[in-house]
Amino acid sequence: MVRAPYDFPESSDGPTGVRLTTSTGTYNTTGAPTAVSDAVNFFKMTATGAETMYFYTDWDGTKHFRLININVKASASVTLTVSWQWYVNGTWGEKSAYAMSLTGTQALTGVTTAYPFLEDVPPGTKSRIAVTTGGACDVSVNAMGRY
């Protein structure tokens, strides 16, 4: 069986890309994160203006993984605010170690990384990456993890 780069085996000693989805687990469809053709572990969404987009790392809380890092790239010079969030006690909460703010130049010219502490996500915990844009652009996001 040929496995996509973001399809995890039962366990993995090495890092691999985390498939990013919508809140219902869909990807590669209209309105959902779409795999970037020249960077297979990045997923892209399009902002039509200043808005917040969500890339789910575990939409239903069924995975147990360690997050290694989050990488972000924009197609235009817009400000970006990025955070990793967990769903606990009926609400989404930000994991402050993963939050970052980018200027337009940083978002356009770099692929910026938030470095976590190789953090375990407790089984049963929903998680997502929130990206708030300062304007219209394509945002590509990659999350690396170990399962």
What are the pLDDT digits (tens) for 110-136? 888 877 667 788 888 999 999 999 999
- For 75: left if phi > 0, alpha if psi spans -120 to 50, otherwise beta; the answer is alpha
- Domain boundaries, given as residue ranges, for the chain: 16-146
Nearest to 144 by CA among 82, 61, 67, 85: 67
Burial class (CB in 10 A: 0-12, 13-18, 19+), 131: buried
pTM of the model: 0.87
What are the pLDDT digits (tens) for 5-23? 445 445 556 788 899 999 9
Domain 16-146's class?
mainly beta
